[in-house]
Amino acid sequence: MANTIQLSPRELQVIMAIANGKTEDQIAIDLNISPRTVRRYKSDIKRKCETYSMPHAVYVVTMAGLINENVLN
């Protein structure tokens, strides 16, 4: 796992939306971007978190203190 994870503000928006159970299509609508762009952000997030799954990426980002579990949902 990476010691320091640096996500862009948009990547943080995407991973918070994923953590809140939103689908790619819902995230795309909410952020006014295409679903393909959402998939790209997800890929970048997983790479930066050194993981292959989004649930694990959410865990890694939460443990790194980048998102607070109290603001989810």
Contact 63, 17 (CB under 8 A): no
- Banded model confidence at residue 1, pLDDT cuts 50, 70, 90: very low
What 42-47 contacts at long range (C-beta under 8 Å, 24+ apart), as own/partner pairs, is: 42/14, 42/18, 44/11, 45/7, 45/11, 45/14, 45/15
pLDDT in tens, 5-54: 999 999 999 999 999 999 999 999 999 999 999 999 999 999 999 999 99
DSSP at 4: S
CA 31, CA 25: separation in Å to the nearest integer?
10
CATH of domain 9-71: 1.10.10.10
